[in-house]
A and B are shown apart, each in its own frame.
Chain A
């Protein structure tokens, strides 16, 4: 079975530019997560989708970050405009139904550097 796909793997941008990340979850998984992982820290949940609806976006900086999951399958996370502190790895994960006991399957991540 194919895993969680993410692109691009690496991105370097100047501050105040915009950037977008794409994620395709495991087929049949209803729940999709976007995490931000800053160097030396654990993942921080930015947004959780259940099918194409948002379950939790309480930690998403909505003045600059946006995310969508059209048709309940793949998802895009956008940052506009980027700040230096957005430099991090952005991880996408999916799970079958989003229950707390389920395994989350992670993609390889997108490493973002904001200069």
Chain B
């Protein structure tokens, strides 16, 4: 069955430190991969997405993610976090033949001053 796993329910990072949020998926076909962010009281906003080509994808707000087919992973990274990055981050997976996205449970990012 198709699934998306975000192993970390929450992560605490000091402001200015680097960040990596993990996402692993189980999918039969070549997946479309997405990272969305949800700030408190807000809807979800797309950070970046991957379909094909260069496996390192740049997104908004200084985020990037790397698709590693051998590890079935699509981890999200940021070299230096800001207090405004405190939010919940969701990984989602889809494919062309199935329009429905499969969503992870989310990782809540907490920023220490």
Q: Do they bind each other?
A: yes
Chain A's interface: helix, strand, loop or mixed, by majority? loop
A91 to chain B, nearest CB (A): 6
> CA separation between A104 and B9, bound complex, in Å?
24
Instruction: Specify which chain A residues have a CB less than 8 angstroms from the CB of B43 in the assembled complex.
Output: 4, 91, 93, 106-109
Digitize A63-104: 1 where CB-to-B-CB distance is under 8 Å, 0 elsewhere: 000000000000000000000000000010100001111011
A28 at the interface (CB under 8 A from B): no
> CA separation between A43 and B94, bound complex, in Å?
14
B100 in contact with A56 (CB, 8 Å): yes
Chain B's interface: helix, strand, loop or mixed, by majority? strand
A42 at the interface (CB under 8 A from B): yes
Chain A interface, number of residues (Cβ within 8 angstroms): 23
Q: A40-B105, A41-B106, A42-B104 are in contact. Are A99 and B99 (CB under 8 A)?
A: yes
A21 to chain B, nearest CB (A): 13
A101 in contact with B103 (CB, 8 Å): no
Interface residues of A (CB under 8 A from B): 4, 40-45, 48, 55-56, 91, 93, 98-101, 103-109
What 7 A-B pairs have minimum CB-CB distances, sorted nearest first?
A42-B103, A106-B43, A100-B94, A106-B44, A103-B46, A108-B43, A100-B99
Interface residues of B (CB under 8 A from A): 4, 9, 32, 36, 41-46, 49, 51, 90, 92, 94-101, 103-106
